[in-house]
Amino acid sequence: MARFYAGATDIPREETTVKTTVTNTPASISRRRLLGAAPAGMAALALGPSLLTMSRPLSAALTPVGELQAPDAHGIRLPPGFSSRCIAAAGLNVRKSWWNTTGYTWHMFPDGGATFDAGDGGWIYVSNSETIGLLGGGASAIRFNADASVHSAYRILGGSNLNCAGGPTPWNTWLSCEEADFGRVFECDPFGEKKAVVRHALGHFKHEAVAVDPVQGLLFLTEDEGDGRLYRFVPDGVNAEGQLNLTAGVLQVAAVDEQGFVSWIDLPNPTPNLLQKPTRQQVPTSTVFKGGEGIWYSNGFIYFTTKGDNRVWQLDTHLNHLRVLYDAATSGNPILTGVDNLTMSSGGDILVAEDGGDMQIVVIDQNGNLAPLLQVTGQDGSEITGPAFSPDGSRLYFSSQRGSAVFGGGKGFGITYEITGPFQEFVRI
Protein backbone atom coordinates (compact mmCIF):
# COMPACT_ATOMS: atom_id res chain seq x y z
CA MET A 1 0.00 0.00 0.00
CA ALA A 2 1.29 3.45 -0.90
CA ARG A 3 1.97 5.79 2.01
CA PHE A 4 1.02 9.44 1.81
CA TYR A 5 2.27 12.35 3.91
CA ALA A 6 0.06 15.40 3.83
CA GLY A 7 1.64 18.75 3.10
CA ALA A 8 1.32 21.79 0.88
CA THR A 9 3.26 20.22 -1.98
CA ASP A 10 4.23 16.71 -0.89
CA ILE A 11 1.06 14.73 -1.51
CA PRO A 12 1.50 12.29 -4.40
CA ARG A 13 -1.53 10.94 -6.19
CA GLU A 14 -2.57 7.32 -5.78
CA GLU A 15 -2.86 5.72 -9.20
CA THR A 16 -4.94 2.74 -8.10
CA THR A 17 -8.68 3.04 -8.59
CA VAL A 18 -10.62 2.13 -5.47
CA LYS A 19 -14.39 1.64 -5.45
CA THR A 20 -15.44 3.81 -2.54
CA THR A 21 -18.00 6.49 -2.02
CA VAL A 22 -16.49 9.97 -2.26
CA THR A 23 -18.48 12.94 -1.08
CA ASN A 24 -17.87 16.56 -0.25
CA THR A 25 -21.48 17.12 0.73
CA PRO A 26 -21.93 18.04 4.41
CA ALA A 27 -24.69 16.66 6.59
CA SER A 28 -28.17 17.66 5.51
CA ILE A 29 -28.75 19.87 8.51
CA SER A 30 -28.84 23.65 8.64
CA ARG A 31 -27.37 25.74 11.41
CA ARG A 32 -30.78 27.30 12.01
CA ARG A 33 -32.31 23.85 12.39
CA LEU A 34 -29.59 22.65 14.74
CA LEU A 35 -29.77 25.67 17.03
CA GLY A 36 -33.50 26.19 16.71
CA ALA A 37 -34.29 22.62 17.69
CA ALA A 38 -31.81 22.62 20.57
CA PRO A 39 -32.68 22.77 24.26
CA ALA A 40 -32.33 25.99 26.22
CA GLY A 41 -28.73 27.15 26.52
CA MET A 42 -27.42 25.26 23.49
CA ALA A 43 -27.47 28.26 21.15
CA ALA A 44 -25.57 30.35 23.68
CA LEU A 45 -22.84 27.73 23.93
CA ALA A 46 -22.66 27.20 20.18
CA LEU A 47 -22.18 30.91 19.59
CA GLY A 48 -20.02 31.57 22.65
CA PRO A 49 -16.31 32.37 22.48
CA SER A 50 -15.35 29.04 24.02
CA LEU A 51 -16.46 27.07 20.97
CA LEU A 52 -17.40 29.15 17.94
CA THR A 53 -15.85 32.46 16.89
CA MET A 54 -18.19 34.15 14.45
CA SER A 55 -17.39 37.04 12.10
CA ARG A 56 -16.81 39.97 14.40
CA PRO A 57 -14.15 42.68 14.17
CA LEU A 58 -10.94 41.91 16.04
CA SER A 59 -8.87 44.65 17.63
CA ALA A 60 -6.08 42.80 19.39
CA ALA A 61 -4.17 39.55 19.76
CA LEU A 62 -2.26 37.70 22.47
CA THR A 63 1.09 37.70 20.66
CA PRO A 64 2.20 41.10 22.08
CA VAL A 65 1.31 40.05 25.62
CA GLY A 66 4.90 40.66 26.80
CA GLU A 67 8.13 38.91 27.72
CA LEU A 68 7.87 35.97 30.09
CA GLN A 69 9.03 36.79 33.60
CA ALA A 70 11.02 34.70 36.07
CA PRO A 71 9.28 31.52 37.31
CA ASP A 72 6.66 32.07 39.99
CA ALA A 73 6.12 29.89 43.06
CA HIS A 74 4.68 27.15 40.83
CA GLY A 75 7.60 27.27 38.42
CA ILE A 76 5.54 28.97 35.70
CA ARG A 77 6.91 31.84 33.63
CA LEU A 78 4.16 34.31 32.76
CA PRO A 79 3.86 37.73 31.11
CA PRO A 80 3.62 40.82 33.34
CA GLY A 81 0.33 41.08 35.20
CA PHE A 82 -0.51 37.36 35.05
CA SER A 83 -0.54 34.87 37.91
CA SER A 84 -1.08 31.13 38.47
CA ARG A 85 -2.71 28.91 41.04
CA CYS A 86 -2.77 25.15 41.46
CA ILE A 87 -6.35 23.89 41.46
CA ALA A 88 -5.73 20.14 41.62
CA ALA A 89 -2.95 17.57 41.91
CA ALA A 90 -3.10 13.85 41.19
CA GLY A 91 -3.65 11.72 44.28
CA LEU A 92 -4.77 14.65 46.42
CA ASN A 93 -8.23 15.87 47.33
CA VAL A 94 -9.38 18.85 45.30
CA ARG A 95 -9.69 21.67 47.80
CA LYS A 96 -12.29 24.41 48.10
CA SER A 97 -9.90 26.34 50.31
CA TRP A 98 -6.85 25.57 52.41
CA TRP A 99 -9.10 24.35 55.25
CA ASN A 100 -11.93 22.73 53.24
CA THR A 101 -11.84 19.87 50.73
CA THR A 102 -14.31 18.59 48.15
CA GLY A 103 -13.59 15.00 49.18
CA TYR A 104 -12.73 14.06 45.59
CA THR A 105 -9.26 12.78 44.67
CA TRP A 106 -7.92 14.22 41.40
CA HIS A 107 -7.06 11.68 38.72
CA MET A 108 -3.65 10.65 37.39
CA PHE A 109 -2.07 11.96 34.18
CA PRO A 110 -4.59 14.72 33.34
CA ASP A 111 -4.84 15.30 29.60
CA GLY A 112 -7.39 16.96 27.29
CA GLY A 113 -9.88 19.38 28.81
CA ALA A 114 -12.59 21.95 28.14
CA THR A 115 -14.83 24.36 30.03
CA PHE A 116 -18.62 24.63 30.20
CA ASP A 117 -20.99 27.31 31.46
CA ALA A 118 -22.63 26.04 34.64
CA GLY A 119 -25.63 28.32 34.18
CA ASP A 120 -25.35 29.97 37.61
CA GLY A 121 -22.49 32.36 36.93
CA GLY A 122 -19.94 29.61 37.48
CA TRP A 123 -18.32 27.15 35.11
CA ILE A 124 -16.95 23.61 34.88
CA TYR A 125 -13.52 22.40 33.77
CA VAL A 126 -13.43 18.78 32.62
CA SER A 127 -10.20 16.79 32.29
CA ASN A 128 -9.36 13.35 30.92
CA SER A 129 -7.13 10.82 32.66
CA GLU A 130 -4.65 9.19 30.30
CA THR A 131 -4.21 5.96 32.21
CA ILE A 132 -5.82 2.53 32.25
CA GLY A 133 -9.16 1.96 33.94
CA LEU A 134 -7.81 0.11 36.98
CA LEU A 135 -5.74 3.20 37.86
CA GLY A 136 -8.47 5.69 37.07
CA GLY A 137 -8.92 6.36 33.37
CA GLY A 138 -12.04 8.20 32.30
CA ALA A 139 -12.58 11.87 33.08
CA SER A 140 -13.23 14.18 36.04
CA ALA A 141 -14.64 17.67 36.50
CA ILE A 142 -14.13 20.67 38.76
CA ARG A 143 -17.05 23.06 39.20
CA PHE A 144 -16.33 26.69 40.03
CA ASN A 145 -18.52 29.32 41.65
CA ALA A 146 -19.03 32.72 40.04
CA ASP A 147 -16.14 34.13 42.10
CA ALA A 148 -13.82 31.36 40.75
CA SER A 149 -13.72 29.50 44.05
CA VAL A 150 -14.03 25.72 43.80
CA HIS A 151 -17.55 24.46 44.36
CA SER A 152 -17.08 20.70 43.90
CA ALA A 153 -15.18 17.99 42.04
CA TYR A 154 -16.44 14.64 40.76
CA ARG A 155 -16.06 11.88 38.16
CA ILE A 156 -17.97 12.06 34.87
CA LEU A 157 -16.56 8.93 33.18
CA GLY A 158 -15.19 5.63 34.44
CA GLY A 159 -14.45 2.23 32.97
CA SER A 160 -12.44 3.51 29.99
CA ASN A 161 -8.75 3.55 29.18
CA LEU A 162 -6.10 6.04 28.12
CA ASN A 163 -8.50 8.93 27.71
CA CYS A 164 -6.33 11.43 25.92
CA ALA A 165 -8.10 14.43 24.42
CA GLY A 166 -11.60 14.93 23.05
CA GLY A 167 -13.78 17.96 22.48
CA PRO A 168 -16.84 19.91 23.68
CA THR A 169 -20.16 19.86 21.82
CA PRO A 170 -22.57 22.78 21.25
CA TRP A 171 -25.16 20.97 23.35
CA ASN A 172 -23.01 21.07 26.49
CA THR A 173 -21.43 17.61 26.57
CA TRP A 174 -17.83 16.40 26.54
CA LEU A 175 -16.58 13.84 24.01
CA SER A 176 -13.79 11.88 25.69
CA CYS A 177 -11.49 9.91 23.38
CA GLU A 178 -9.55 6.72 24.12
CA GLU A 179 -6.01 6.82 22.71
CA ALA A 180 -5.81 3.05 22.45
CA ASP A 181 -5.91 0.55 19.61
CA PHE A 182 -9.55 0.32 18.51
CA GLY A 183 -10.37 3.01 21.08
CA ARG A 184 -13.82 4.53 21.51
CA VAL A 185 -15.43 7.93 22.07
CA PHE A 186 -17.62 8.53 25.12
CA GLU A 187 -20.18 11.33 25.40
CA CYS A 188 -20.11 12.68 28.96
CA ASP A 189 -22.22 15.05 31.03
CA PRO A 190 -19.96 17.77 32.52
CA PHE A 191 -22.40 18.09 35.44
CA GLY A 192 -21.98 14.40 36.27
CA GLU A 193 -25.72 13.85 36.43
CA LYS A 194 -26.09 11.57 33.39
CA LYS A 195 -24.17 8.39 32.69
CA ALA A 196 -21.57 8.58 29.93
CA VAL A 197 -22.50 6.84 26.67
CA VAL A 198 -20.22 5.13 24.12
CA ARG A 199 -20.60 6.60 20.64
CA HIS A 200 -19.51 3.67 18.48
CA ALA A 201 -20.53 5.48 15.28
CA LEU A 202 -17.51 7.78 15.74
CA GLY A 203 -15.25 4.82 15.03
CA HIS A 204 -12.89 2.43 16.75
CA PHE A 205 -9.30 3.63 16.36
CA LYS A 206 -6.57 5.36 18.36
CA HIS A 207 -8.54 8.54 18.94
CA GLU A 208 -6.91 11.79 19.95
CA ALA A 209 -9.40 14.65 19.67
CA VAL A 210 -12.68 15.70 18.07
CA ALA A 211 -14.22 19.02 17.02
CA VAL A 212 -17.81 19.84 16.08
CA ASP A 213 -18.70 22.12 13.17
CA PRO A 214 -22.13 23.38 14.37
CA VAL A 215 -22.79 25.28 11.14
CA GLN A 216 -22.64 22.29 8.80
CA GLY A 217 -23.43 19.67 11.43
CA LEU A 218 -20.19 17.68 11.10
CA LEU A 219 -17.55 16.22 13.41
CA PHE A 220 -13.82 16.03 12.65
CA LEU A 221 -11.48 13.59 14.41
CA THR A 222 -7.72 13.08 14.67
CA GLU A 223 -5.84 9.80 15.10
CA ASP A 224 -2.66 9.55 17.17
CA GLU A 225 -0.69 7.11 14.99
CA GLY A 226 2.50 7.67 13.01
CA ASP A 227 0.47 6.76 9.94
CA GLY A 228 -2.82 8.14 11.28
CA ARG A 229 -5.66 9.68 9.33
CA LEU A 230 -8.02 12.63 9.51
CA TYR A 231 -11.68 11.63 9.80
CA ARG A 232 -15.06 13.28 9.30
CA PHE A 233 -18.35 12.05 10.76
CA VAL A 234 -21.61 12.92 8.99
CA PRO A 235 -24.41 12.37 11.53
CA ASP A 236 -27.74 10.92 10.52
CA GLY A 237 -29.67 14.13 11.20
CA VAL A 238 -30.60 15.17 14.71
CA ASN A 239 -32.06 13.26 17.63
CA ALA A 240 -35.23 13.91 19.61
CA GLU A 241 -33.44 16.58 21.68
CA GLY A 242 -32.40 18.51 18.56
CA GLN A 243 -28.76 17.49 18.96
CA LEU A 244 -26.63 15.95 16.24
CA ASN A 245 -27.30 12.23 16.12
CA LEU A 246 -24.09 10.53 17.23
CA THR A 247 -25.60 7.04 17.25
CA ALA A 248 -25.81 6.73 13.46
CA GLY A 249 -24.13 8.30 10.47
CA VAL A 250 -21.21 7.89 8.09
CA LEU A 251 -17.54 7.96 9.14
CA GLN A 252 -15.25 9.17 6.36
CA VAL A 253 -11.50 9.48 5.87
CA ALA A 254 -9.65 12.32 4.14
CA ALA A 255 -7.81 12.00 0.83
CA VAL A 256 -5.88 15.16 -0.05
CA ASP A 257 -4.65 16.05 -3.56
CA GLU A 258 -1.57 18.05 -4.57
CA GLN A 259 -3.46 21.34 -4.37
CA GLY A 260 -4.71 20.60 -0.86
CA PHE A 261 -8.32 19.83 -1.78
CA VAL A 262 -9.91 17.11 0.33
CA SER A 263 -12.19 14.30 -0.77
CA TRP A 264 -14.04 12.42 1.96
CA ILE A 265 -14.29 8.67 1.44
CA ASP A 266 -16.69 6.42 3.35
CA LEU A 267 -14.93 3.86 5.54
CA PRO A 268 -15.93 0.26 4.80
CA ASN A 269 -15.79 -0.74 8.48
CA PRO A 270 -15.68 2.14 11.01
CA THR A 271 -15.75 -0.20 14.04
CA PRO A 272 -13.20 -2.98 13.40
CA ASN A 273 -12.14 -5.45 16.06
CA LEU A 274 -8.69 -6.89 16.78
CA LEU A 275 -8.99 -9.42 13.97
CA GLN A 276 -10.03 -6.86 11.33
CA LYS A 277 -8.21 -4.21 9.33
CA PRO A 278 -7.77 -0.90 11.26
CA THR A 279 -9.61 2.11 9.89
CA ARG A 280 -6.40 3.84 8.78
CA GLN A 281 -5.57 0.90 6.49
CA GLN A 282 -8.98 0.45 4.89
CA VAL A 283 -8.76 3.09 2.14
CA PRO A 284 -5.42 3.02 0.25
CA THR A 285 -6.04 6.45 -1.29
CA SER A 286 -6.46 8.16 2.09
CA THR A 287 -3.78 10.58 3.27
CA VAL A 288 -1.37 9.92 6.12
CA PHE A 289 -1.03 12.47 8.92
CA LYS A 290 1.95 11.92 11.20
CA GLY A 291 0.45 11.67 14.67
CA GLY A 292 -2.77 13.68 14.83
CA GLU A 293 -3.20 15.64 18.06
CA GLY A 294 -5.44 18.53 19.15
CA ILE A 295 -8.28 19.84 16.98
CA TRP A 296 -10.60 22.86 17.22
CA TYR A 297 -13.37 24.52 15.19
CA SER A 298 -13.68 28.27 14.68
CA ASN A 299 -15.56 30.40 12.15
CA GLY A 300 -15.70 27.90 9.30
CA PHE A 301 -12.25 26.40 9.84
CA ILE A 302 -10.88 23.31 11.56
CA TYR A 303 -7.42 23.68 13.11
CA PHE A 304 -5.36 20.65 14.15
CA THR A 305 -1.78 19.59 14.93
CA THR A 306 0.44 16.69 13.91
CA LYS A 307 3.30 15.92 16.27
CA GLY A 308 5.32 13.73 13.88
CA ASP A 309 6.22 16.71 11.71
CA ASN A 310 5.50 19.62 14.11
CA ARG A 311 2.79 21.14 11.95
CA VAL A 312 -0.37 23.14 12.57
CA TRP A 313 -3.06 22.77 9.89
CA GLN A 314 -6.10 24.74 8.76
CA LEU A 315 -9.03 23.07 6.97
CA ASP A 316 -11.66 25.25 5.29
CA THR A 317 -14.79 23.20 5.95
CA HIS A 318 -16.76 24.92 3.17
CA LEU A 319 -14.19 24.61 0.39
CA ASN A 320 -12.72 21.36 1.74
CA HIS A 321 -9.25 22.83 1.31
CA LEU A 322 -6.31 22.09 3.62
CA ARG A 323 -3.15 24.12 4.20
CA VAL A 324 -0.24 24.21 6.61
CA LEU A 325 -0.31 27.22 8.94
CA TYR A 326 2.91 26.40 10.77
CA ASP A 327 5.78 24.02 10.08
CA ALA A 328 8.70 23.99 12.51
CA ALA A 329 11.02 22.81 9.72
CA THR A 330 10.38 25.85 7.52
CA SER A 331 9.22 28.57 9.94
CA GLY A 332 11.31 31.70 10.32
CA ASN A 333 10.44 31.62 14.03
CA PRO A 334 10.45 27.90 14.99
CA ILE A 335 9.79 28.35 18.71
CA LEU A 336 6.98 25.79 18.69
CA THR A 337 7.85 22.07 18.78
CA GLY A 338 6.18 19.01 20.26
CA VAL A 339 2.80 20.32 19.08
CA ASP A 340 -0.08 18.73 20.97
CA ASN A 341 -3.41 19.91 22.43
CA LEU A 342 -4.74 23.22 21.17
CA THR A 343 -7.52 25.67 21.83
CA MET A 344 -8.46 29.13 20.56
CA SER A 345 -9.09 32.48 22.17
CA SER A 346 -12.24 34.46 21.49
CA GLY A 347 -10.13 36.76 19.32
CA GLY A 348 -9.05 33.98 16.97
CA ASP A 349 -5.58 33.22 18.34
CA ILE A 350 -4.50 29.57 18.29
CA LEU A 351 -2.92 28.34 21.54
CA VAL A 352 -0.78 25.24 21.08
CA ALA A 353 0.51 23.24 24.05
CA GLU A 354 3.88 21.53 23.83
CA ASP A 355 4.55 17.88 24.62
CA GLY A 356 8.22 18.35 25.41
CA GLY A 357 9.71 21.20 23.43
CA ASP A 358 10.22 24.05 25.88
CA MET A 359 7.10 23.15 27.91
CA GLN A 360 5.33 26.22 26.60
CA ILE A 361 1.90 27.26 25.41
CA VAL A 362 2.60 29.17 22.21
CA VAL A 363 0.21 31.61 20.54
CA ILE A 364 -0.22 31.83 16.77
CA ASP A 365 -2.19 34.94 15.82
CA GLN A 366 -4.23 35.53 12.68
CA ASN A 367 -1.23 37.06 10.92
CA GLY A 368 0.92 34.01 11.57
CA ASN A 369 3.01 35.64 14.32
CA LEU A 370 4.17 33.40 17.18
CA ALA A 371 4.88 34.18 20.82
CA PRO A 372 5.03 32.14 24.04
CA LEU A 373 2.15 32.78 26.43
CA LEU A 374 3.65 30.79 29.32
CA GLN A 375 6.35 28.27 30.15
CA VAL A 376 6.45 25.58 32.85
CA THR A 377 9.94 25.14 34.32
CA GLY A 378 11.42 22.34 36.42
CA GLN A 379 9.13 19.72 34.86
CA ASP A 380 11.07 18.66 31.78
CA GLY A 381 9.77 15.09 31.97
CA SER A 382 6.20 16.27 31.58
CA GLU A 383 3.95 17.75 28.87
CA ILE A 384 1.36 20.51 28.80
CA THR A 385 -2.20 19.28 28.26
CA GLY A 386 -5.82 20.40 28.28
CA PRO A 387 -5.61 24.17 27.61
CA ALA A 388 -9.06 25.76 27.85
CA PHE A 389 -10.39 29.24 28.55
CA SER A 390 -13.22 29.82 31.00
CA PRO A 391 -16.45 30.65 29.14
CA ASP A 392 -15.91 34.40 29.63
CA GLY A 393 -12.30 34.19 28.42
CA SER A 394 -10.84 35.59 31.64
CA ARG A 395 -9.05 32.46 32.87
CA LEU A 396 -6.94 29.76 31.24
CA TYR A 397 -6.75 26.19 32.53
CA PHE A 398 -4.17 23.53 31.67
CA SER A 399 -2.28 20.62 33.20
CA SER A 400 1.30 19.46 33.47
CA GLN A 401 0.61 15.78 32.89
CA ARG A 402 3.54 14.38 34.84
CA GLY A 403 4.23 17.31 37.10
CA SER A 404 3.43 16.92 40.77
CA ALA A 405 2.73 19.04 43.81
CA VAL A 406 3.79 16.09 46.00
CA PHE A 407 7.06 14.81 44.53
CA GLY A 408 8.14 17.95 42.67
CA GLY A 409 9.25 18.45 39.09
CA GLY A 410 8.21 16.22 36.25
CA LYS A 411 8.33 13.04 38.33
CA GLY A 412 4.76 12.84 39.52
CA PHE A 413 1.29 12.03 38.28
CA GLY A 414 -0.08 15.38 37.16
CA ILE A 415 -1.06 18.83 38.33
CA THR A 416 -3.71 21.24 36.99
CA TYR A 417 -3.34 25.02 36.95
CA GLU A 418 -5.38 28.17 36.43
CA ILE A 419 -3.92 31.34 34.89
CA THR A 420 -5.49 34.74 35.49
CA GLY A 421 -4.52 38.13 34.16
CA PRO A 422 -5.51 40.93 31.79
CA PHE A 423 -6.52 38.66 28.90
CA GLN A 424 -9.22 41.15 27.92
CA GLU A 425 -6.59 43.78 27.16
CA PHE A 426 -5.11 41.59 24.42
CA VAL A 427 -8.23 39.87 23.09
CA ARG A 428 -11.09 42.28 22.38
CA ILE A 429 -14.02 41.50 20.11
- Span 210-235, mean pLDDT? 98
Is residue 407's pLDDT more than 70?
no
- For 290-302, how does the pLDDT look when each residue is reduced to its tens digit (9 = 90+)? 999 999 999 999 9
Q: Whole-angstrom Cα distance, residue 425 to residue 421?
A: 9
Q: What is the CATH number of domain 22-426?
A: 2.120.10.30
- pTM across the whole model: 0.87
- For 6-55, how does the pLDDT look when each residue is reduced to its tens digit (9 = 90+)? 333 333 333 333 333 444 444 333 333 343 333 333 333 333 334 433 33
Q: What angle do CA 211, 213, 214 make, to 5 degrees?
A: 125
- Span 216-229, mean pLDDT? 97
pLDDT at 429: 55
pLDDT at 17: 30
Is residue 269's pLDDT more than 50?
yes
- For 109-144, how does the pLDDT look when each residue is reduced to its tens digit (9 = 90+)? 999 999 999 999 999 999 999 998 666 789 999 999
Residue ranges covered by each domain of the chain = 22-426
Residue 409 C-alpha from the chain's centroid: 25
Q: Which of 40-54, 216-230, 233-247 has the lowest mean pLDDT?
A: 40-54
Question: How does DSSP assign 159-181, residue by residue?
Answer: S---EEEEEE-TTS-EEEEE-ST
Question: How does DSSP assign 270-321, residue by residue?
Answer: SS--TTS--GGGS-TTSPBBSSEEEEEEETTEEEEEETTTTEEEEEETTTTE
Is residue 365's pLDDT more than 90?
yes
371 bridge partner residues = 363
| Tally of CB atoms within 10 A around 365 | 20
Is residue 76's pLDDT more than 90?
yes
Q: Positive or negative, the Cα torsion across 46, 52, 56, 61?
A: positive
- Span 373-391, mean pLDDT? 94
Whole-number average pLDDT of the chain: 87
For the chain, give the percent of residues with pLDDT over 90: 78
pLDDT at 381: 85
Which residues 6+ apart lie within 8 Å of 368 measured at CB?
Answer: 325, 326
Burial class, 187, CB count within 10 angstroms (exposed 0-12 / middle 13-18 / buried 19+) = buried
Question: How does DSSP assign 199-250, residue by residue?
Answer: -GGG-SS-EEEEEEETTTTEEEEEE-STTB-EEEEEE-SB-TTSSB--SSEE
The answer to whether the beta carbons of residues 385 and 113 sit under 8 Å apart is yes
